[in-house]
Amino acid sequence: MLFKKIIHSIIIFRLYIMESNYQVRRMSNAATAVQADSLPLAKVDPDGRSGWLYQKNSGDQKFNYYFYSGAHENMMMKRISSIYFVGSVDLWTDQQSELPFFVVYTKMKLDGTDAGSWYHSKHVYALHKDSQLVRPGEKCVFYALDMPHKPECVHGKRCMAFKTRIDDGEYDPDDEVLAVSLQSDSAAAQCAVYIENMGMEMDSFARRVGDSIIDMKLIGITMTPRITHEA
Q: Is 226 part of any domain? A: no
Reported pTM: 0.86
Each residue's pLDDT tens digit, 165-201: 999 999 999 999 999 999 999 999 999 999 999 999 9
As a whole number of angstroms, the distance between CA 166 and CA 107 comes to 17
223 confidence band (pLDDT: 50, 70, 90): low
Give Cα 114 to chain centroid, integer Å: 24
Cβ-contact 119, 185 below 8 angstroms? no
Each residue's pLDDT tens digit, 70-92: 999 999 999 999 999 999 999 99
Q: Is 224 part of any domain? A: no
Structural domain for 156, as ranges: 2-219
Q: Is 61 part of any domain? A: yes
21 confidence band (pLDDT: 50, 70, 90): confident
Q: Count up the domains in the chain and report the number.
A: 1
Is the pLDDT reported for residue 229 higher than 90?
no
Residue 111: predicted pLDDT: 96
Residue 221: predicted pLDDT: 80
As a whole number of angstroms, the distance between CA 160 and CA 142 comes to 5
Q: Is 18 part of any domain? A: yes
Q: Is 228 part of any domain? A: no
Q: Is 230 part of any domain? A: no
User: Which DSSP symbol is given to 21?
Assistant: S
CATH number of the domain residue 212 falls in: 2.60.120
Q: Which amino acid is at 194?
A: Y
Residue 57: predicted pLDDT: 97
Residue 31: predicted pLDDT: 96
Q: Is 182 part of any domain? A: yes
In the three-class reduction of DSSP (H, G, I as helix; E, B as strand; rest coil), residue 83 is classed as: strand
**Which residues have CB under 8 Å from 15's CB, separation 6+?**
149, 213
Lowest mean pLDDT among 13-17, 30-34, 159-163: 13-17
Residue 169: predicted pLDDT: 97
Residue 4: predicted pLDDT: 47
Q: Is 14 part of any domain? A: yes
Cβ-contact 184, 191 below 8 angstroms? yes
Each residue's pLDDT tens digit, 92-139: 999 999 999 999 999 999 999 999 999 999 999 999 999 899 999 999
Residue 96: predicted pLDDT: 96
